[in-house]
Structures are given as structure tokens and as C-alpha cells.
Amino acid sequence: MKIPMSWIKEFVDVPADTSLETLEDAFVKVGFEIESIQVLGADLIGPLVIAQVKEIEELVGHKKPIRYVGLDCGEGKTRYVICGATNFVVDDLIVAALPGAVLPGNFEISARETYGKTSNGMICSARELGISDEHAGIIVIPAGLAKIGQDAIELLEINDVVIDAAVNPDRGYALSIRGLARELSASLGLKFNDPALQVEPKRFEVNKSGIQVAIEDPEALSVVYIRTIEGFDIKAVTPLWMSRRIEKCGMRSISLAVDITNYVMLELGQPLHAFDKTKIKESLVMRRAGSDKVLKTLDGQERKLAADDLVVADKSGPLALAGVMGGASTEVTSTTTSIALEGARFDPITIAKSSRRHRLSSEASRRLERGVDPSLAEISTARAIDLMIELGGAKYVGSAFAGSPRYSENLTFDPNFVSKYLGTEVSLKEVEESLVLVGCKISKKSDSHWIITPPNWRADLSLAPDLVEEVARNIGFDRIPSTLPIGKSGARLNDFQYRKRGISNYLASNGFSEVYNYPFVNPKYLADLGFIGERAKAFRLANPMSEEFPDLRTHLLPGLLQAVVRNMGRGQKNVAIFEIGSVFRDTVKLASQPIIGIKKRPTPETIKSIYDGVPVQPVQVAGVVAGKICPDGWSGKADAFTWNEAIGFAIKIVEISGNSFEIVPSDFAPWHPGRCAEIRVDGKAVAHAGELHPRVIAMLGLPERSCAFTVVLSALPVQSTIKSSQLLTMPAAVQDIALVVDAQVPATKVEAALRTGAGDLLESIQLFDRYDKLGDGKVSLAYSMVFRAADRTLTADEVSAFREAAAARALKECGAIVRS
Amino acid sequence: MSLTASELATIVKGALSAIAGAGDLSEIKKVKIEHLGDKSPLAKASQSLGSLPADQKAEFGKVVGAAKSEVNSAFEARVLELEALRDAKVLLEEKVDVTLPAPKISKGGLHPLTILTNEINDLFLGLGYRVAEGPELESEWLNFDALNIPADHPARTMQDTFFVEPLEAKLVLRTHTSPVQIRTMLENKPPIYVICPGRTYRADELDATHTPVFSQVEGLVIDRGITMADLKGTLDYFAQAMFGPEVKTRLRPSFFPFTEPSAEVDFFFNGRWVEWGGCGMVNPKVLQACGIDTEEFSGFAFGMGLERTLMVRHGITDMHDIVEADIRFTQSFGLGGR
């Protein structure tokens, strides 16, 4: 909220020498962040005077309208200036900057030749003076509000400090001069004169003379006041001191009646609504819209009402969307002379719902949603009609009210709780002073039993910690010492977290750069990559950042591939990247979320339905290699990165998780149908790896034969602790064997046959050569087998026998012939 | 048959002169075989000892032993000389330019968000915290209601939330990692010490300092007698680990529905106060929603943005660098640099 210090000072005696830093620190100390501090008029030097327009000569032949204006600046002669604005007529009072003046932006005013005339000064707009953003035309001051020759800097109260304080949602009362003046006074230890106490509402008698009011739904509001006046002078204009304050608070001056309601709202925090009294049929009722379907609001829109909307109605139907926006039919216009003024303490949730339903957020709804001091309905309406009588010459007719203010309940409070909760000694005296300072009343039963009555405007004070915060704000958070609690022993990463860390370290150490992509995807792109079925069932965002990417990713590769393209676009020739992250698939019908409160822990069944209503989100690790994984070097070219390496990385990731696996060929998008491996653990697919589909490569403009892998980390079972067996130290015997097999036989099958045939003493087996130029659809596979016994050196005969047994098995299972 | 002393002396002399004459390490290898090998005259002299009568055996044995030892010492000394010679000469010729780039070493790296998360996890593991994680697409009740952010409360609109269709599913992209705190409290009995790192979402346009997808780390402690001083001490410890032992922190009163009192935490770094995150004592309403006895237990919570932490600590000036998956950014952090 923007607050002019000149207004604040009406209620707090802030010493004149208080620095801006002190003011800022004072607000920050009690919990108000300062968005900005504007020093108005700091870069403005006079002479700036009120002048009257005496004559206007329109200069023609220019691209835009140009006027040559004669001004009476109170100098006894006419001063002529050039002006590009047209929103004024002869006799208007305007603001003139005379030669020697300096306007914001170091704009020096001097007599100068322009448009073939001498301009001896300048007629100013509000923006040129740095007092508002208004630049539609120059400032025209209503007749009677200024004298010719008067100092405009003083008249327009230009010199001021405007502080923009951020107000948190629990402190609705601080969306007012009253609230922030109170906070500032408490923070600086200064006396505070409450503007609400300066109003005497009882002067305005409650009677049957004005518009009467009733509350139909007491849930929606606790109290409403309607005060009626008549004889409001339609010619009366808003005095400059009022319009300037409204403008400094960031609102616009509109008309006297409306300005008064806004002024009182800014001052006290209570939104008010003025109805044209003559348009109200008999009396008002505060009720839900019910079967009434439409209301034309004063912005001219036909609003479709929800049955639940709170309206102010008369017997003809709804007149206003209560607390949110007035209706067109009862709008106060330039001819309105009789006004019924409404001020009410609405239920914040009711207003919030209406405001959101109709997408109408206003200065009024912002305050009402946060809760307004219930005593203000009576006080602020009185304050406003007081001003209408004083400034608009109105005559008081009468007042009516319904309901009564509902105040927060008293709290039972042990003041010693403050020290216990803050972890530092705070004396009972300090606790008392702090609470009194924010407006609490204290009744002491004993040193550990106080009854606290929170002030009217602090509906947020309902629990002991709320009071602790008030004390802490007052004594300063700096008072709280530093102590370090230590948690449970035996804390460790869980198996999944260890695994994730191991895998990211492995990939990064082996040439992959880790990235994080946004999980938003385009469904067409997903389809173009070949994602179908369950892997294309994406959740759609109701409010995506852009219509181009409305879906949540179902897989990491689409995002990674785009990242590769982006990197290549930025000049990279080789890109090896990986990502670890969650994916989202809308494949399971989810339990519906229960609607429950938070007064107590949900039942186990409810917790289960909350959990079951959230989809399982698998964690994947995926990598893409476009080009080579390392650059060519001075000593030779780097190896190509092929489908085989991609599968190797996927295998290694599975191995890091401690799982054993099998590999089968697969046909899976977006991979090459003949160059994709599926890796299975316990018979279930957990990974895919290989070369990307040529169509995908062409579509994205990637280097030929780019490769990718994906492992579903969360699908890898957690294995039990590794049991180590004793290492064998007897000599090893090595046997090589070359087999000719049909090229269609998978190498894993051949290896498995050799393993089985070779027997228990086979320690390891390694494919060390593959020759595919035999013709006839045959290949030669050469394996090196290492045998070792626990208790003896194996003899040559023994080892040959193992080799032959292995060959026999390979022949039987794979038709492999030993190559001689 | 045995050798005379003079014959032995000749053998020794011949051996010594051959050793002295060896010009490099390969020559001396040959000399070793010739003069100290199994078939060398000295070896033969040793073998001949066996045929001597017992009384001569001891005496002549000593002489042969001395001769062998002399030749051996000369040999070893010459080897050392020749090795030194080689080191001085030959190795010099084999000198390479060791500043040449190592071939086939690729430049991979961890994203700094991962490095930072690991660092923070390790820090808090050391304080006895567990690392808790949870789903990014989350139930509204866990993301909002349970945290004392009721529907239609202004606080709910403070965070620009991404909703998924259909809205009746009541699923949101979590706006903070706080639902993980709620899950932790629903699944465990206090004492609870957890750190919750993870990805979070708010519908902010990407610019130099904002991103709709960002990362947070939150901490939650629920135990007997937990105070706001405990919160402050923990934040000090955390800040010092992140920004150096000299760093100062300050708490400023603020508002969060899930904490009371609430504060913003700032740290003083490179001559200015920097906003770091929010914190406070866990609101009893939140504990109550999780079935924790507020008479027995109290707790604190805090939350920081990881991107912001990185930006300040490493002088990253544009959020785009963090989110655009440019490998040059990742590679500049390598495998764990800070």
C-alpha cells in the first residue's frame, strides 16, 4: 500500500529529521517490506505558479495541435507560452512553470523560440511534475480551489514522501493509513492518535428516516450500516488536499462523492459503497443472489450471478455485488444529490469467492478478503457522511443498521510461553508492553494465566504463537539467540537417493553434461517422435505458460532432444547430455480427493484416498549423444558413439543399482527399430537404449546415428546388501574359443550357452572378436574364457574338457560350430 | 679341479674391466650374463668349491666369495652410473610437451543445482536430518489446505499455481516442497528432522530472475522444546556452510500461513543484504492437521530457492543460464566445483 508521509504524520508525530532509512527500517522491523520510497518534488525547482488562461491562439500547419496561450500569472502582464495540450479553455486555472524552473529529469525551463513564437514558460501536466502518471493533458484546477499567482508546489502538496509498504494477507488492517501509522508509531516508540477515535458516529442518530437495511444471511456479514444524506451539491468539487492524497496512494480522483468513499477507505481501511438513494426501491437487504441470475455492474458488464454470490438488493432485485462492485442502476452520477452509503463487515471468504468467480479484484475486495475491523462499519460511514456534509453541503437524513459487530474471542495465555517458544528470556513486562502496543487488552489472573482480548482489527490473533509473534516483532528478532538442534542419529540417504547420486556422478564423469528441462511439452511434437499409447497419455495443464506447451512430459527424451537441438544451434558439434527427473502419465483412474478440513488428523482411509489421488510419477534417467562423446584430439580422432555405447551406459546404470539384467531386441519409439535394446530386470522392461530412429534424426536435424538411452530408475528393485565371497588365489587358466553361428543368433544367447556348458569353474567370459565377413549369413564370435578352482591348479586336460563342454552346449543351443 | 688365487684374480680383473667398459644399460646387461651369469667363470669357480677337500673348502670359499662380492658391487655401482647417464641424456631426448591436451577426455559435468542439492543434503545429514522427497504433481490438500492455506484465502492466490485438468482431480504442480513436510508428518512420529529438496512450480514468466520451474530446499524439525532460537541457529549454520563462515543472517517479521511467528531470512553477502527465504515456527494448525500433539511438540520450518542461492554465490546474472540446458553452463561447474 502506498502511503504519503504527510498523511501518516497527521496521526503520528514523526520527527522532521527522521531519515528515509529510519522509516524503512522501522517498517521492516515490524514485518512490512518496503517496495519503494518516492521522494516527490525532490527534483522539482520553482517558480511554479497557478495561472489563468486569458487567450488561446491555435497555430495551424503543424503535425499536431499547437496553441499559443496567454497567461495571467499574477505578474500584472500577460505571459505567452506554447502548449501542445488541448484540454483547457479560456479562464481555466492551470500550473505554469516559469523560466528558471527545473522539472524532474533535469528539464530546465527557459524562454525559447518555437513554432515561430517565443514561449516564456510551460503549462504542466501531472507527469511532467512527477506527481502522477497522468499525461492525457495538462493539469486544470477547478475554479475556486486556487488563486492566480499562488505557489503551485505548496498548493499541490508536491513535496512529500510516498512509501509503498507490502502488506501480508494476515494484516488486512494495515491496508490503511490508520493501520500503517499505528505500526510505525509502535516501531518508533511514538504516540499514535487513532483516526477512528476522532470520529463521533453517535452524532448521527439511527432512525427510520433514511434507507433501511436487513441481513438475510448472517453467515455472510456480521453488521451493515446504511447512512442517508440528501441535498448533495452536484457542483462541489474534491478539494486539492483530498484529491492529492488519493493520487499519492495510487488511486484516481473521480468525483467528490466517490472520492470521499475512497478517501475514508484509504484512511481507515473500510471499503464503502455509495448508492443513488432515489434509485433504491424502499429498503435494502443483504442476501445471497439465489434465483436472481443477472446484474449489470457499473463497468457496464452483464454479470451472471451464482446463487452463492452475496448481493445488496432491494425489492426489485440485486443492486450491487456486495463488497466487490456496485451495480449500474444505482450508480452515483454527476446528477446524484441523495446518497445511501453502505459500510459492512463481510465474511472474507464470501467476498473472496465472489471476487474470484467474477474475476473482479478491486481495492475494496482486497481489503474485505483480508478482514476489516468490525467496528469500522459504524465509524467509517459516519466519517464519510461527515465529509459529504462538510464538502458537499449535504443534509443528514438518517441511519440504519442490521446485525452487530462480531469480535475475536479472548485468548487464555501463559505469558511465560513467549520465552519458551522464542528460546530467549523475555520479561513479563516486555510481553505485556508488546501486546498492549498492538492494541490487546490484558486481564491477569496470575503470572501464568492471562486473558487477552485482541483489538478489533486483529482477527488474526487466535493462538498463543500469534501473540508470540507480536512480542517478537516488538522486541526485535535480533534478540533471539542462535542454538543448533541435532537430529536423529543414523540419518543417511535412502537407497534410491544413493543410487541417483551414483548414476549422475557416473554419467558426468563419463562425458555427459547434466541438464534440467522444463517438463512442459507439445502433444504434436510428442506424436511426431512416435510416442503413442500410454507413453502419450499426458496430463494437460489448465493454465499452461504457453499454449504451445500445454502438457506435462511423459518421458525425458522429448525435452532432452530439444535441448540437444538448442545446443547445436549455439555452435556445439558434439552434445552428450543427460537428465534425471520425474515423468507424468495420465494412465490410471485416480481416487477422487476427499474434501476435508484440518481440524484434526485425517483418518487412515482418508490419508489413503489423498495419496491414491496422486498419480505415481516414475523417475527416469535419460541421455542423448549427438556426435561424439568427446572431441577429436591431436593424437587421433575420437571414437564414434554408437548404439553399442548407448546400450553400455544403460547397462552400467542398471548395474549401479545392483541388479542383474537381460537384454532383448526391441522396436520402441523414438529408437531405430533394428538398433534398440530393451533391458529387463526380473523380466520387466526397465530401460531402452540404442540408435535414434532416422526419421527423428532427420526431423530434428541431428547428426546421423545419434543415440539415446532411458532407464526408469524408480522401476529398478532395491537389492539386499552385497555379500562378498572370498577371492580365489589359485592360478587361472585361459581358454579361447571361436564359434561360427548364424548372424541372427543374439550374442547373449551364445554367451549364455558357453557359460552353462563351461561349468562352475568358469570365472569370466569375454567376447574379444566378432567377424562378419564370412558370408552365408554367418558370423564368427571369439570368446576368452577364464577358469579357476578354489583348491588346485587346473590341469591342461581339465581345462580342455571344460572348453569342449562349452562348445558342445553352444552347438546344441545355438548351432554354433567351433571355428578351426 | 680348482682355480689358483691368481687365476681368480684374473677373472675378477676381466670382469671389472668389462663392467667399467660397458657404455649403456643394454651393454651392461650383456656384461652381467657374461661375468655374473650362471655360466660365467666366477660361477664356475663357485661350483668348483664342491670338489675341494673340506679343509680347503672354507678358506677358498671365502676368497671366491670376496671376489664375487667385489664384482657385484662394481656391477651395481656401474648400473647406477649408467642409469643416471640415461636419465640425463636419453630421457631428455624422449621429452614430450606435457601441456598438450589429454586426448579423449570428455567434459561432462553435473548441473550446479545437483551439486548444490548434494552439498545441502550432506550438510543436513551431518546434523541428523533425513532427505525426504515427494511427487511434483501433488494433491491440493497436501499443497495448500494442510498448510493452513484454505481455498479462497488470499494466501492461496499469492502463489500462481499450475492446475491440471480436470480441476476436479484437485491436482496441482506443487508450489513449494512443503507438501513433502506434510507427508513426512503423516507418515512418521516425531521427533522429525528432514530436509526436502525438489522441483517446484509457479506460473511466473521466465526472466532474468524468475522461472516458472524452480528448485527449493525446505527443512522441517519437530521435537520436544524446539524454539525459534533453534531455527535461527540452524539457519546460521546453513548460511555459513553456503556462503562462508563470516556470513551474517537476519530475520525479518513476515507472514506465511504455515508458520507463526514467520520471518524472512536475509544474509549479508558482498556488502549487501540478500533475501534468501522464508521460515518460522510451524503453525499449530499445521501440526494439528497432521495429528501431532502441540502440547508436547513444537517445530520450525524454512525454505530457500536453490536458483537464488546459486545466483548469489556464483555471480550468475541471468536465470536463463540455469534453465536453458546449455552444456557450457553445466561444464563450467564440472563434477562438483563450487
Q: What would the grid cell of residue B91 be?
A: 630421457
b vs e for A517-538, b when ≥16 Cβ sit within 10 Å of the residue's Cβ? bbbbbbeebbeebbbeeebbeb
Tell me, yes or no, whether A359 and A500 share the same domain: no
Residue A483 lies in a domain: no
Number of domains in chain B: 2
**pLDDT at residue A144 tops 90:** no
Closest CA to B335 of B114, B122, B117, B109: B109
Q: Do A27 and A72 fall within a single domain? A: no
pLDDT at B66 (0 to 100): 87
Q: Using a CB-CB distance cutoff of 8 angstroms, which residues of chain A are in contact with residue B223?
A: 485
Contacts of residue B64, Cβ cutoff 8 Å, sequence gap at least 6: B8, B42, B45, B46, B49
Interface test with A, best of B172, B174, B260 (most A CBs within 10 A): B260
Least confident interval from A340-344, A515-519, B102-106, B203-207 = B102-106
Q: Which residues of B touch A417 (CB under 8 A)?
A: none
- List the single residue in B101, B139, B286 with the smallest CB-CB distance to A610: B139
**Inter-chain touch A484–B261, beta carbons under 8 Å:** no
From chain A, pick out residues whose CB is under 8 angstroms from the CB of B141: 593-594, 596, 610
B189 inside domain: yes
The yes-or-no verdict on residue B36 having pLDDT over 60 is yes
Residues A654, A643 share a domain: yes
pLDDT, residue A638, reads: 85
Q: Is residue A361 part of a domain?
A: yes
Tell me the Ramachandran region of residue A494: left when phi exceeds 0, alpha when psi lies from -120 to 50, beta otherwise: beta
Other CB atoms within 10 A of residue A639 CB = 12
Residue A553 shares a structural domain with residue A442: no
B270 in reach of chain A (CB within 8 A): no
Q: Chain A partners of B140 at a C-beta cutoff of 8 Å?
A: 593
In a domain, A557, yes or no: yes
What digits encode the pLDDT tens for the residues A728-761? 999 999 999 999 999 999 999 999 999 999 999 9
Cα distance between residue B96 and residue B183, in whole Å: 61
State how far the Cα of A70 lies from the Cα of A56, in Å rounded to an integer. 6
Is residue B105 in a domain? no
What's the pLDDT tens digit per position in A3-12? Answer: 999 999 999 9
| Location of C-alpha cell 497557478 | A50
Q: What residues of chain B lie within 8 A of the CB of A493, using their CB?
A: 121, 125, 131
Domain closes at, from B45, B64, B93:
B93
Q: Are residues A689 and A740 in the same domain?
A: no
Point out the residue among B125, B168, B203 whose CB comes nearest to the CB of A491. B125
- CA separation for the pair B277, B254 (Å, rounded): 11
Asked whether residue B144 falls in the same domain as residue B225, the answer is: yes
Average pLDDT over chain A reads 93
Interface contact flag, B263 A576, Cβ < 8 Å:
no
Q: Which chain B residues are within 8 Å of A434, Cβ to Cβ?
A: none
Residues of B in contact with A33 (CB under 8 A): 252, 254, 264
Q: Say if residue A215's pLDDT is above 50.
A: yes
Is residue B107 domain-resident? no
Going by the DSSP 8-state scheme, the letter that residue A479 receives in this structure is G
Q: Which of A261-265, A297-301, B5-9, B272-276 has the lowest mean pLDDT?
A: B5-9
Q: According to the model, what pLDDT value does residue B159 have?
A: 62
User: Which residue among B93, B125, B148 closes a domain?
Assistant: B93
Strands lying side by side in the sheet with A273-276? A273-276, A339-346, A221-230, A395-403
Q: Domain containing A777 — which CATH number? A: 3.30.70.380
Chain A environment of B285 (Cβ under 8 Å): 463, 598
Residue A112 sits in a domain whose CATH number is 2.40.50.140
Rg value, chain B, Cα: 39
Does residue B185 contact residue B218 with C-beta atoms inside 8 Å? no
* Inter-chain touch A601–B229, beta carbons under 8 Å: no
Answer whether residue B100 is part of any domain.
Answer: no
Nearest CA in chain B to A461: B260
Kindly report the CATH number assigned to the domain that includes residue A30.
Answer: 3.30.56.10
| Facing B227 at nearest CB: one of A33, A422, A607 | A422
| 8 Å CB contact of B327 and A633 | no
- Are A443 and A360 within one domain? no
In a domain, A489, yes or no: no
Q: Tell me, rounded to whole angstroms, the distance of Cα A775 from its chain centroid.
A: 66
Q: Specify the pTM.
A: 0.85
Task: Please check whether residues B182 and B280 belong to one and the same domain.
Answer: yes
Number of A/B CB contacts below 8 angstroms equals 308
Q: Hey, what's the cell of A215? A: 441481513
Q: Are B123 and B88 within one domain? A: no
Please check whether residues B42 and B71 belong to one and the same domain: yes
Contact criterion met (CB < 8 Å) for B229 and A581: no
Shortest Cα distance, chain B CAs vs residue A347, angstroms: 11
Task: Please judge whether A485 and B223 are an interchain contact, meaning their C-beta atoms are less than 8 angstroms apart.
Answer: yes
**Are A61 and A173 in the same domain?**
no
A336-380 confidence digits (pLDDT tens): 999 999 999 999 999 999 998 998 888 999 999 999 999 999 999
Residues paired with residue A581 on neighbouring β-strands, in sequence order: A620
What is the percent of chain B with per-residue pLDDT over 90, rounded to a whole number?
Answer: 64
Are the beta carbons of B153 and A543 separated by less than 8 Å? Answer: no
pLDDT category at B60 given cuts 50, 70, 90 is confident
Optimal mutation site among B227, B251, B294, interface A, most CBs of chain A within 10 A: B227
Q: What does the pLDDT average to over A430-436? A: 96
The Cα of B235 is separated from the nearest Cα of chain A by a number of Å equal to 9
Residues of A in contact with B150 (CB under 8 A): 349
In this structure, the answer to whether residues A447 and A588 fall within a common structural domain is no
Asked if residue A306 is part of any domain, the answer here is yes
Note the pLDDT of residue B2. 58
Tell me: pLDDT of B1 over 50.
Answer: no
Residue B325 domain-assigned? yes
- Min mean pLDDT across A483-487, A614-618, B6-10, B126-130 is at B6-10
Does A272 lie in the same domain as A141? no
Contact B154 A492 (CB under 8 A): no
Residue A379: domain span? 201-403
Note whether A536 and A617 are same-domain residues: yes
**Which of these three, A363, A384, A403, is where a domain ends?**
A403
Residue B14: inside a domain: yes
A484:B212 CB<8 A:
no
- Pairwise CA distance, residues A589 & A579, whole Å: 28
Comparison of pLDDT for A638 and A416, the residue scoring more: A416
- Smallest CA-to-CA distance from B117 within B13, B240, B217, B38 is with B217
Shared domain check, B167 and B56: no
CB contacts of A600 in chain B (<8 Å) are 288-289, 291
**Residue A718 pLDDT greater than 60, yes or no:** yes
Question: Do A582 and B135 make contact, defined as CB atoms within 8 angstroms?
Answer: yes
> What is the mean predicted confidence (pLDDT) over B7-33?
88
B77: pLDDT strictly greater than 50: yes
Would the pLDDT of B158 be above 70? no
Name the B residues in 161-180 with CB < 8 Å from any A CB.
Answer: 162-165, 167-171, 173
Domain span at B116:
112-331
A281 occurs within a structural domain = yes
Could you tell me if residue A519 is inside a domain? Answer: yes
pLDDT above 60 for A805: yes
Relative to beta strand A140-141, strand A93-97 is antiparallel
Partner-chain contact B131 A493, CB within 8 Å:
yes
Same domain, B240 and B137: yes
Q: Which residues contact A711 (CB under 8 A, 6 or more apart)?
A: A620, A621, A622, A650, A653, A654, A679, A686, A687
CATH of the domain at A268: 3.50.40.10
Say whether A356 and B152 touch across the interface (CB within 8 A): yes
Give the total residue count for chain B.
338
Question: What's the pLDDT tens digit per position in A590-620?
Answer: 888 888 889 999 999 999 999 999 999 999 9
Question: For residue A388, is pLDDT > 60?
Answer: yes
Q: What is the per-residue pLDDT across A294-309, written as a single tens digit (0 to 9) for each?
A: 999 999 999 999 999 9
The DSSP-derived string for A568-621 is: HHTT-S-EEEEEEEE-----SPPPPPP---SSSPPPHHHHHHHHHTS----EEE
Q: Report percent pLDDT > 70 for chain A.
A: 100
- For residue A94, report the phi and psi dihedrals to the nearest 5 degrees: -130, 175
**Count of structural domains within chain A:** 6
DSSP class of residue A457 equals T
B262 and B123 share one domain? yes
Task: Kindly give the interhelix angle for A464-475 and A428-437, rounded to the nearest 10 degrees.
Answer: 90
Q: Do B153 and A169 touch (CB under 8 A)?
A: yes
For residue B204, count other CB atoms closer than 10 A to its CB: 15
Looking at the structure, tell me whether residues B203 and B325 fall in a common domain: yes
Return the SS3 of A281: coil
Identify the weakest region by mean pLDDT among A13-17, A810-814, B55-59.
B55-59
Q: Which of residues 106-165 of B touch A (CB under 8 A)?
A: 106-111, 113-114, 118, 121, 125, 127-131, 133, 135-142, 145-146, 148, 150, 152-155, 157-158, 162-165
User: Is residue A674 included in any domain, yes or no?
Assistant: yes
Question: What is d(CA A688, CA A578) in angstroms, rounded to the nearest whole number?
Answer: 14
Residue in the block written with cell 509473534: A469
Contacts of A513 in chain B (CB under 8 A): 107-109, 111, 327, 330-331
Task: Give the pLDDT of residue B46.
Answer: 80
pLDDT in tens, A555-567: 999 999 999 999 9
Return the residue in B111, B221, B250 with the most chain A beta carbons within 10 A, the one to mutate for interface testing: B111
**CA dist., res. A352 & res. A368, Å (int):** 8
Domain match, B124 and B235 both: yes
Q: Are residues A561 and A437 in the same domain?
A: no
Q: What is the pLDDT of residue B338?
A: 66
Whether residues B26 and B163 share a domain: the answer is no
Do residues B130 and B278 share a domain?
A: yes
Question: B43, B62, B93: which is the final residue of a domain?
Answer: B93
Give the nearest chain B residue to A545 (CA atoms).
B203
CATH of the domain at A503: 3.30.930.10
Cα distance from B28 to chain A (closest Cα, Å)?
35
Torsion from C-alpha of A695, A697, A703, A705, nearest 10 degrees: -70
Question: What is the pLDDT averaged over residues A472-485?
Answer: 95
* Residue B154 pLDDT exceeds 80: no
Q: Where is the domain boundary, A440, A475, A510?
A: A475
Interchain contact, A481 vs B232, CB within 8 Å: yes
Q: Which residue of A has its CA nearest to B226?
A: A421
In a domain, B98, yes or no: no
Any domain includes B232: yes
Backbone φ and ψ of A586, nearest 5°: -90, 70
Segment A56-101, tens digit of pLDDT:
999 988 888 999 999 999 988 999 999 999 999 999 999 999 999 9
- Please tell me whether residues B176 and B305 are part of one structural domain: yes
Residue where the block lists cell 460511514: A381
pLDDT average, residue stretch B204-208: 92
Q: Measured between beta carbons, which residues in chain B are less than 8 angstroms from residue A623? A: none
CATH number at residue B152: 3.30.930.10
- Closest-CA distance, A231 to chain B, in angstroms, reads 40
Residues of A with CB below 8 A from B137's CB?
539, 552, 584, 614-615, 617
Supply the pLDDT for residue B11.
Answer: 87
| Residue A556 one-letter amino acid | L
Q: Say whether both A562 and A645 belong to one domain.
A: yes
Over the stretch B236-273, which tens digit does the pLDDT of each residue have? 999 999 999 999 999 999 999 999 999 999 999 989 99
Q: How far is C-alpha A672 from the chain's CA centre? A: 42
